[in-house]
């Protein structure tokens, strides 16, 4: 099933805030199976990052980080399994790579997925991050909204766009909560993993991507990674 999402382009351009230069000259992959991968690509490139679209395990070679975009987590999860990417992405993380999952991407990072329709069977995820995620927790597509979010580490609020967004429920001991919408956790970090319920790639504000780029392994470590993946 293909669900139309308003991934038409950037909003909030007048509030554009540049992130730091942590990504200059680094190579980051964007999982390009389905969803809003082009928008992430554009935003990362605007930060001086070299971007590669990842569809097959070999595409992970030499990357310092990987973005898993928003879209439809059931479709993306199924394609991830069909393309043999689940194990290689876990290995990529285990050998030092950083991963940022936005919305459906956060669902794919989580250990436990709640709210998956039973008729689709077990929903695959990478089970990398010690969080449980409740799908579609803010309602349906028509309930999508944008709001200013206070984020740990950012001095002014971030214009966060929520589209059929999940919330992060239980978080493990190693998980740092970076933002809440009301009582709900919507941005969290665990080591080299970052998960957001919302879509930072759909605003003109690069600061969340900047936080992710700060999590990339140092260049020397990335060279080792290149050899080991």
Would you call 122 a catalytic residue per the annotation?
no
Which of 103, 131, 213, 216 is the binder for ligand GLN (CB under 6 A)? 103
Which of 65, 70, 88, 200 is the binder for ligand GLN (CB under 6 A)? 70
Helix residue spans in 47-181 (DSSP H): 73-82, 86-94, 104-109
- HSE-CB of 87 using CA atoms within 13 angstroms: 4
Does 187 help bind ligand GLN (rule: CB under 6 A)?
no
Which of 104, 131, 225, 229 is the binder for ligand GLN (CB under 6 A)? 104
CA distances from 39 to 6, 42, 71, 164, 200 (A): 11, 5, 12, 18, 9
State in Å, rounded, how far the first CA of the chain is from the last one: 33
Does 135 help bind ligand GLN (rule: CB under 6 A)?
yes
Does 107 help bind ligand GLN (rule: CB under 6 A)?
yes
Between CA 221 and CA 202 the distance in angstroms is 31
Evaluate the CA torsion angle 47, 29, 108, 229 in order and state its sign: negative
Choices 64-72, 81-89, 145-153, 217-225; region in contact with ligand GLN by CB under 6 A: 64-72
Would you call 183 a catalytic residue per the annotation?
no
Give residues in contact with ligand GLN (CB under 6 A). Answer: 5, 70-73, 103-104, 107, 135-136, 163-164
**Which residues are marked as active site?**
103, 199, 201
């Amino acid at each position: 099933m293909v669900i139309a999402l308003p991934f038409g382009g950037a909003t909030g351009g007048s509030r554009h805030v540049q992130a730091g230069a942590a990504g200059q000259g680094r190579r980051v992959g964007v999982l390009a199976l389905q969803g809003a991968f082009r928008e992430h690509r554009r935003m990362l490139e605007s930060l001086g990052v070299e971007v590669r679209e990842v569809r097959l395990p070999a595409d992970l070679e030499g990357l310092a980080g990987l973005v898993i975009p928003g879209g439809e987590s059931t479709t993306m999860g199924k394609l991830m399994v069909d393309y043999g990417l689940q194990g290689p992405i876990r290995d990529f993380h285990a050998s030092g790579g950083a991963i940022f999952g936005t919305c459906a991407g956060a669902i794919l990072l989580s250990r436990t997925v709640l709210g998956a329709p039973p008729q689709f069977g077990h929903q695959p995820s990478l089970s990398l991050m010690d969080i449980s995620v409740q799908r579609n927790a803010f309602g349906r597509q028509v309930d999508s909204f944008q709001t200013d979010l206070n984020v740990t580490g950012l001095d002014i609020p971030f214009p966060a766009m929520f589209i059929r967004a999940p919330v992060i429920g239980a978080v493990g001991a190693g998980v740092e909560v970076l933002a809440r919408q009301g009582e709900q956790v919507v941005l969290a970090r665990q080591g080299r993993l970052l998960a957001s319920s919302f879509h930072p790639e759909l605003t003109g504000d690069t600061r969340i991507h900047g936080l992710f780029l700060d999590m990339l392994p140092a260049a020397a470590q990335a060279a080792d990674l290149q050899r080991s993946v």
